[in-house]
Structure formats: C-alpha cells, structure tokens
Amino acid sequence: MKRREFIKTAGAGAVLVGGGSLVSACCQEKNAPHPYNVNLAGKARMKLSFEPYELQLRHTFTVASYSRKTTPDVQVKIEYDGFTGYGEASMPPYLGQTLESVSAFLGKVDLGIFDDPFRIDEILTHIDSLSEGDTAAKAAVDIALHDLVGKLMGMPWYRIWGLDARKTPDTTFTIGIDTPEVVREKTRECADKFNILKVKVGLDNDKQMIETIREITDLPIAVDANQGWKDREEALDEIFWLKEHGVVMVEQPMAKERIDDNAWITERSPLPIFADEAIQRLRDIPAIKGAYTGINIKLMKCTGMREAWKMLNYAKAEGMKVMTGCMTETSCAVSAAAQLSPAVDFADLDGNLLISNDRFEGMTVENGKITLPDRPGIGLKLI
C-alpha cells in the first residue's frame, strides 16, 4: 500500500472500541471486511436472542461453602448484517443470579435502538443502566458484542488491545475439596497436562488436600480459600506452611467484609494474596487497595470484557498484580477472558475443561499454556 493510500485508509477507518482504544481498520487481517463496508447506514439492526443451557460438570465441584454437579447457564447471540457474536451468562450459586433473573434482564435488552455495533461504550453503558446488578447477564451481552465487533473487523480482541499472544501464561487447573481417593484421581488425570494446579481449601482438611496432591506431583500450587479461614493468625501460619509445600499464591483467605484482617495477612504473608469475592467491579478497587497484593478479574462479576480491560489497566497502574479467572463456563466466556491473558500475572481459565458439554472450540491449553486461536472476535468455532 502506498503511503498516501495508507494515510487515507487509516484516517477514514479509525474507530474507538472497548472504552477508548484506538483501532485502525488498515490493520485488519487480509481480506477481512472493512468496518465501514458493513451496513452502518441505519437499515441493519442488531438482534439479540438467548436460551438456557445447563452445564454438566465432569466431577462434583466442592468449595468451602457448597457442592454442585451442574451450573445453570444462558447462551446469547447478537446477529447483525450476516455476522453473529456469541456470549454467555454462567450462574454459580454464590453470584445470586438465576435463569429467571438473567432471562428477565435479557428480555429488557433492545439493541435495535443502536444502528452501529461499534458504539461499544455507549451500548454497554446503556445495558449497565438497566439494573443495579445482573452482572452475568450484562457480561453475556458484552461478550457477544465484542465477538461481533471483532468479527466485523476481522481481528481477535487480543490484537485489538495490542497484546502479544505469545505472552499468555500457564493456566491453573482446579481440584475441588474432596476425599483423598478422589483428589489422587483428579491429580493423576491432570498432573502431566498442566504446569500449575489450583486447590480449593478453607475447611478442616486443607493440609490433607495438599499432602495428598504431593503424593502424586510436585507441581506449583495456587490455593483458593473462598473466604473459608476464620482466624487471621491461624490463616497466616497456614500460609507459611503452604509456602513450604510449593504453594505460590493465595486467593481470598478470609471473608471479604473483614478487610482489616485480610490486610493484616497480606502485610505479613510470604505469598501474594489475591482478592476474589472482595472484588467485583472497577469501582471496588480503591476500597481494597493495600489490603491485597492483587485482584482476580472474572467476567461474570464485572459485566464483561469492557470493564475487565479497564480493571486490568487501573490495577496495574496502582502497582497491583492481576489474575483472570472464570466460573464453570463453555469455551465462549473462557475464550473471552483469555483475550486478556497476555497481560496478567496469573490465569485460572479452566472452566471449559471442567464440563462435558461444551458447545464451542476456542482457547486451548497446550503443554499447560493458554493458546489463543487467531480467529476474529473471541476466537470461537461452533462444534
């Protein structure tokens, strides 16, 4: 392309997406549709549809506060001018959202009032204004809109955000609280496929869980107490013990309301301490700054990719570490979160691996490392 043509194309094709990132249409994949070659003249309208979808877990999943074998889920599509974006709302019990609440929220969404899907910030600000909560439902719309816009541009979102897919981290693989026999079985299944494990703790068998895993493998371990520890001094003692047994980070040691106790632990801990239940959205970061080493960003809690990207950049600017996590989800939501992964310190993106009825191909794990497909949008392929 000649310099004059390049400048002309760049000037005409630059658009603002994802809350303010400047993206030029001249940087698309070869033969991908130019954003202004799709119908933005007011005739085409976005159409949203959704349906319930129950996720079937491969194993019973147990944390400090509950067990479950399934997770309710809603699958979302946004169609526009021959393109389809996919989204998802996953609803584990602690989110307090249900099929009924998600369906009721999505039933209020009218994307037909917008004639330009590239107005991402305006559209999602409107979606957020429809209720105070409903974060998983909002995330489903956000993910589908990002997938749609990425497809219209012919680019994956990690490239739109300027990230290098070669810098993706290893992902943890989660082992829930269970009997020693089941823990051994789960560990044997995954020990040769991953480079780091994640172990749920917070009950009275924490040390047994770690010692059982250590019978099988010496892989690094991240632990998630899910607010299960009650005494800060006992929690700190356990963290020192965990470090001696190859643990490298701790999530949410005590109840989120006990911010002073969590801060006391963080100040003395030999391991980084990450907020999980204590952090939902961007506005929560100032209140927990200094009480944790870092934050865990989950799309179902923060309303999706737009806010996740803002949270990542804000936390980094404040000197905090960042991890990205997920619920039990299909490859749709997991692949959306994975678009952020080249910029994070830890990743816990195994939710699609914990279910037996995934509808998509997307992000994969190769030799324990997150691998991003180069497909546009969030990188999905329907199975």
Structure token digits, residue 190: 């995954």
Q: How confident is the model at residue 64 (pLDDT cuts 50, 70, 90)?
A: low
Mean pLDDT of 80-84: 97
Structure token digits, residue 156: 């994956």
Would you state the pLDDT for residue 368?
97
Q: CATH 3.30.390.10 region(s) of the chain?
A: 46-158
Q: How confident is the model at residue 147 (pLDDT cuts 50, 70, 90)?
A: very high
Mean pLDDT of 292-320: 98
Please say if the pLDDT value at position 13 is more than 80.
no
Would you state the pLDDT for residue 340?
98
Distance from C-alpha of 352 to C-alpha of 329, rounded to nearest angstrom: 5
Of 6, 14, 77, the closest CA to residue 46 belongs to 77
Would you state the pLDDT for residue 65?
61
Task: Name 87's bridge partners.
Answer: 76
Supply the pTM of this predicted model.
Answer: 0.88
Please say if the pLDDT value at position 46 is more than 90.
yes
Contacts with 112 (C-beta within 8 Å, 6 or more apart), sequence order: 45, 46, 47
Per CATH, the architecture of 46-158 is what? Answer: 2-Layer Sandwich (3.30)
Would you state the pLDDT for residue 38?
52
Task: Name 257's bridge partners.
Answer: none
Helix (H) or strand (E) holding 170: none
Of 368, 365, 313, 374, the closest CA to residue 344 belongs to 313
Distance from C-alpha of 128 to C-alpha of 139, rounded to nearest angstrom: 10
Q: CATH 3.20.20.120 region(s) of the chain?
A: 160-382
Please provide the average confidence, as pLDDT, over all residues in the chain: 90
Which stretch of 27-31, 131-135, 181-185 has the lowest confidence by average pLDDT? 27-31
Mean pLDDT of 2-13: 37
- Cβ neighbours, 10 Å, residue 129: 8
Please say if the pLDDT value at position 6 is more than 80.
no
Which stretch of 37-51, 99-113, 299-313, 328-342 has the lowest confidence by average pLDDT? 37-51
Would you state the pLDDT for residue 16?
41
Q: What is the CA radius of gyration of the chain?
A: 21
Would you state the pLDDT for residue 66?
66
Q: How confident is the model at residue 62 (pLDDT cuts 50, 70, 90)?
A: confident
Q: What's the chain's length in residues?
A: 383
Would you state the pLDDT for residue 68?
82
Which tens digits make up the pLDDT trace of 20-31?
A: 433 333 333 434
Please report which residue ranges of the chain form alpha helices under DSSP H.
Answer: 3-13, 99-108, 120-129, 135-153, 157-160, 180-190, 206-214, 232-244, 259-268, 285-288, 299-302, 305-317, 331-338
Distance from C-alpha of 80 to C-alpha of 139, rounded to nearest angstrom: 19
> 160-382, what's its fold?
TIM Barrel (3.20.20)
Please say if the pLDDT value at position 355 is more than 80.
yes
Which tens digits make up the pLDDT trace of 242-271?
A: 999 999 999 999 999 999 999 999 999 999
Q: How many CA atoms lie within 13 A of 86 on its CB side?
A: 19
Would you state the pLDDT for residue 48?
98
Residue type, 178: D
Q: How confident is the model at residue 235 (pLDDT cuts 50, 70, 90)?
A: very high
Distance from C-alpha of 11 to C-alpha of 182, rounded to nearest angstrom: 59
Please say if the pLDDT value at position 208 is more than 90.
yes
Percent of the chain predicted with pLDDT > 90: 84
Q: How confident is the model at residue 98 (pLDDT cuts 50, 70, 90)?
A: very high
